[in-house]
Structure 1
Amino acid sequence: MAHTQDFDLKTLIRELLQATLGGEYSAHEEDSVLIISESWEGYSDEGVSLDLQDIPEVLLNWAQLDVSQGPDVNELLVLDLETTGLGRGNTLAFLIGLGYFEDGKYKVEQIFLPEPDAELNSFDRLIELLETHSVLVTFNGKSFDIPVLESRLLYHRIWLNLREKEHIDLLHMARRLWKNTLPSCALESLEYYVMGVLRDPEFDIDGGQIPQAYGEYLMSGDVEPLLKIVKHNQLDIIYTMALMVIICDALRLPIEVGKDARVDYHAVARLYQSQGQKDVAKQILCEMKDLSIATVESVHELGQLCKRDKELEEAQHCFEYGAALSHPPSLLALAILLEQTKEYEQALEYTEQLLSQQQSLPLPDLRQLHDIDKRRIRLQRKIAKKAHK
């Protein structure tokens, strides 16, 4: 009799779960999972663009993907998990969020566990989508989602080498593009500062509260708090793709410098320069300077690229810009350039300015002070030698 009552309660909770969250149960005879799906064309309900045209080569190179077999956007699979904890051991992935393009729309598919016993069945749909999509897209997935998934798959004796699958982890690219301009590169920070959206606490839940909320559902059968968890995960999948769209638009050639105020074009230039495309980097930095959106650091880097190309007059102008703002690297670069062009008096002037600046620091770099002083003494000798000729 007790077994029958437990079965009836389980059935009741499952019916209530589907009525509250929507979706359909999988076809498994026992321990089926609830699959919730929704699609958007062009823009999400929050107004962020989900229109991904293609993936720029520079991003593929950075992610160490095969550029010659550049993936189509329909091959991307966004992944985000909600779990019962932050560790890997004994952590259950009770909600698997997936996003992919289908028939011109961006579809979010969420696989929810009504009870922990259904975990094994949740992997069937996941594996099916992994087989039909060649590239994973995550936000911090390499450090969290993938290790958790591998652990749970191994627990069920399923071997799936997710680490060998092509993977774009947008957290690391976001840090590369925005670490110098944003207070944080957490997803919610990027949502606010880059996408211009703010999550509504009436419909969302803080990520740190999710494990406890799921635990309370298992204890009480109350499904209402799950609405916020599902919405939180859905937004993670939507905003991860929205971030992918912004990054791809920012990196796509030709770079339209200044078009998008959310983009740090200096970081874009550095990305291209890191891949040996110095001419592209130089063009970006030049346009930043022409549009008066350059920083002292970007102008200094432009000066170094001009110097590489033997454009010494332009390089000197760039270094003088930074020197006027007491930018130490520009002062040093200008002193070096002037010494190379045998303008020793001016080189000495900037060297002494740099030396004075470094000596005034609370904790100066003694080795750097020594090198600057050596330069000062050398220049004084060259000036004296020149005067005796």
Structure 2
Amino acid sequence: MSYENKILQMKKLLKKNNTQHVIEKEPILKPDVPNYAGIWQDAGLKMIENDFGVVFLLEKHYPLDYKHGAIYLRELYDAFGKWQQTQNAHPISLTDANNLIFYDTETTGLKGVGTHIFLNGLLEESEDGFTLKQYVLADPSNEVAFLFESKFWQGRKTIITYNGKSFDWPQLQTRWTLNKKDLPPLKEHDHLDLFHGSKRIWKNDIARMKLTQVEEEKLGFTRLDDVPGYLAPIIYLDAVKSGQPDALLKVLQHNEWDLLSLLTLYVQATNLLCEGIAEESATTYTNIGKWYADLREIDRSEELLQQVTNQYTREEAVNAYYHLGFQQKKQQNYIEARKSFQQALPYLQGRQQIIALIELAKIFEHRDKNYEFALEMTKQALKLVTESSLWTKESKTLRLADIQKRKNRLERKK
């Protein structure tokens, strides 16, 4: 028999054997129900049993007229309406609540494969309002049941978090990966992280971007008797060890406030991005104007920055004048650009002051042909760079050489 025929016979034999020996998936051994299950249920936590074990759930419903801080939950739909009406593209734009989830977790640590998520908090649209579902890990042996119940393996959703792209979602992905042999594949979802948007809106206006700080300063909400986040892991582990859930319920309240604040933060951010200038600072509206410029929504950006310069003092509007100057220069509106830089210059400091002087020197030299003024701006910039410690030695030498070259040229022209 030829080698070819032998190989063909072997392939047929292997195929036959494979059809006869179907590898069956090992049955899942469900963990025991924790002995404190009854105590937790008496405290208000509902026990859910699925194919993988048990998980505890605390569920609450909020009507549309529920007010969290200064904002009603129904205002979320007003926010959708504003995005529907605007012509401006923006990364936080949403037009409805379909498959929308506000999501926040509590974990037993900050990172590493030994860190478990013990609380999955989800706030979703429901009939006549919103429903909060807080899934609590019964114990580590019931982790598969806990993850499965989150339903993140079903349909594509839009998830809104606060620093969730860096923390909550990577943690969920890690735990899912470690249990992937028992779980359906984790779906890909759209993710909107309001932490990054808040930094763009309130940079240099809020000292710290912790959610509790944003709540107090921008959302009209102050927490009373709140559990610090760093105590949450200790409280959970103690609740599992002792079986007593009283302190754990305080952690759930902390998580509840996080989620309600996510909704109201989205509303407040939308109001600021879509409406005209109202009660916020010049810094906030300048940040928004700059954000729109970075998104190439130049008309909206210039509109906002102009409003800042019209409605605030020159000192308050210094950064609006500064950024407006660059936009006007890019549009070849050199007269207005010069005016904007001149308005900003007396109140600028450090790097911005030096850059504004150079920009004015360029406009005076190449557009106005006013070499005397251009030389004066250049001399001031040269002096500031010489005395500055903003740059490394090498970078500073290059800048000084460039400014000196401009100075020499202007002295010849003068």
TM-score, normalization: structure 1?
A: 0.84
Secondary structure of the corresponding residue to residue 310 of structure 1 = coil
- 1:135-177 CA distances to partner (integer Å, 9 max, x unpaired)? 1111121222122212222332225345x32111112222222
Change (3 A) 1:180 1:261: closer
Aligned-residue offset at 1:329: 2.3
Task: Report the Cα distance in structure 2 between the residues aligned to 1:154 and 1:59, rounded to whole angstroms.
Answer: 39
The partner residue of 1:271 within 288, 291, 294 is 291
- 1:250-284 CA distances to partner (integer Å, 9 max, x unpaired)? 222xx312344598111111221112111111111
Task: Report the Cα distance in structure 2 between the residues aligned to 1:59 and 1:39, rounded to whole angstroms.
Answer: 34
The partner residue of 2:402 within 349, 362, 371 is 371
- 1:294-320 CA distances to partner (integer Å, 9 max, x unpaired)? 532220111222223333332221111
Q: Which moved more, 1:93-102 or 1:73-82?
A: 73-82
Q: CA RMSD in A?
A: 2.7
Task: Report the Cα distance in structure 1 between the residues aligned to 2:333 and 2:52, rounded to whole angstroms.
Answer: 73
Aligned-residue offset at 1:130: 6.2
Corresponding residue for residue 214 of structure 1: 236
Ranges of 4+ aligned residues in structure 1 off by more than 6 Å: 57-60
Corresponding residue for residue 329 of structure 1: 355
Q: How does 1:217-296 map to 2 (within 5 A)?
A: 217-252=239-274, 255-261=275-281, 264-292=284-312, 294-296=316-318
- 1:30-56 CA distances to partner (integer Å, 9 max, x unpaired)? 843221122322444544443213184
Corresponding residue for residue 369 of structure 2: 342
- 1:207-257 CA distances to partner (integer Å, 9 max, x unpaired)? 1111111111122222211121111111111112221111122222xx312
Task: Report the Cα distance in structure 1 between the residues aligned to 2:198 and 2:87, rounded to whole angstroms.
Answer: 14
Corresponding residue for residue 135 of structure 1: 158
Aligned-residue offset at 1:104: 4.1
Corresponding residue for residue 167 of structure 1: 191
Q: Which moved more, 1:311-320 or 1:362-371?
A: 362-371
Corresponding residue for residue 94 of structure 1: 118
Change (3 A) 1:169 1:36: same
Instruction: Name the aligned partner's letter for residue 291 of structure 1.
Output: Q
**When the two structures are aligned, how many residues end up with a matched partner?**
363
Unaligned ranges ≥5, structure 2: 1-31
Corresponding residue for residue 179 of structure 1: 203
The partner residue of 2:170 within 147, 156, 160 is 147
Change (3 A) 1:49 1:379: farther
Corresponding position: 1:353 with 2:384: no
Aligned-residue offset at 1:362: 4.4
Residues 323 and 330 of structure 1 are in contact (CA less than 8 Å); yes or no, is this contact kept in structure 2? yes
Aligned-residue offset at 1:344: 0.7
Task: Report the Cα distance in structure 1 between the residues aligned to 2:265 and 2:308, rounded to whole angstroms.
Answer: 23
Task: Report the Cα distance in structure 2 between the residues aligned to 1:58 and 1:170, rounded to whole angstroms.
Answer: 21
Aligned-residue offset at 1:111: 0.7
Aligned-residue offset at 1:29: 8.0
Task: Report the Cα distance in structure 2 between the residues aligned to 1:114 and 1:92, rounded to whole angstroms.
Answer: 12
Residues 25 and 34 of structure 1 are in contact (CA less than 8 Å); yes or no, is this contact kept in structure 2? yes
- 1:92-122 CA distances to partner (integer Å, 9 max, x unpaired)? 2111100111224132110112333332222
Instruction: Name the aligned partner's letter for residue 292 of structure 1.
Output: Y
Residues 38 and 107 of structure 1 are in contact (CA less than 8 Å); yes or no, is this contact kept in structure 2? yes
Unaligned ranges ≥5, structure 1: 1-6, 384-389
Residues 269 and 282 of structure 1 are in contact (CA less than 8 Å); yes or no, is this contact kept in structure 2? yes
Aligned-residue offset at 1:124: 3.5
Residues 80 and 233 of structure 1 are in contact (CA less than 8 Å); yes or no, is this contact kept in structure 2? yes
The partner residue of 2:333 within 295, 311, 315 is 311
Instruction: Name the aligned partner's letter for residue 260 of structure 2.
Output: I
Task: Report the Cα distance in structure 2 between the residues aligned to 1:357 and 1:214, rounded to whole angstroms.
Answer: 56
Task: Report the Cα distance in structure 1 between the residues aligned to 2:241 and 2:346, rounded to whole angstroms.
Answer: 66
Task: Report the Cα distance in structure 2 between the residues aligned to 1:212 and 1:206, rounded to whole angstroms.
Answer: 11
Aligned-residue offset at 1:324: 2.7
Task: Report the Cα distance in structure 2 between the residues aligned to 1:59 and 1:188, rounded to whole angstroms.
Answer: 30
Corresponding position: 1:62 with 2:91: yes
Residues 71 and 135 of structure 1 are in contact (CA less than 8 Å); yes or no, is this contact kept in structure 2? no
Corresponding residue for residue 79 of structure 1: 103
Task: Report the Cα distance in structure 1 between the residues aligned to 2:217 and 2:65, rounded to whole angstroms.
Answer: 21
Task: Report the Cα distance in structure 2 between the residues aligned to 1:318 and 1:27, rounded to whole angstroms.
Answer: 66
Task: Report the Cα distance in structure 2 between the residues aligned to 1:74 and 1:378, rounded to whole angstroms.
Answer: 63
Secondary structure of the corresponding residue to residue 225 of structure 1 = helix
Corresponding residue for residue 413 of structure 2: 382
Larger radius of gyration: 2
Aligned-residue offset at 1:28: 3.7
Residues 69 and 219 of structure 2 are in contact (CA less than 8 Å); yes or no, is this contact kept in structure 1? no
Instruction: Name the aligned partner's letter for residue 321 of structure 1.
Output: Q
Instruction: Name the aligned partner's letter for residue 52 of structure 1.
Output: L
Residues 282 and 308 of structure 2 are in contact (CA less than 8 Å); yes or no, is this contact kept in structure 1? no
Instruction: Name the aligned partner's letter for residue 326 of structure 2.
Output: Q
Instruction: Name the aligned partner's letter for residue 193 of structure 2.
Output: D
Q: Which moved more, 1:293-302 or 1:24-33?
A: 24-33
Task: Report the Cα distance in structure 1 between the residues aligned to 2:91 and 2:129, rounded to whole angstroms.
Answer: 27
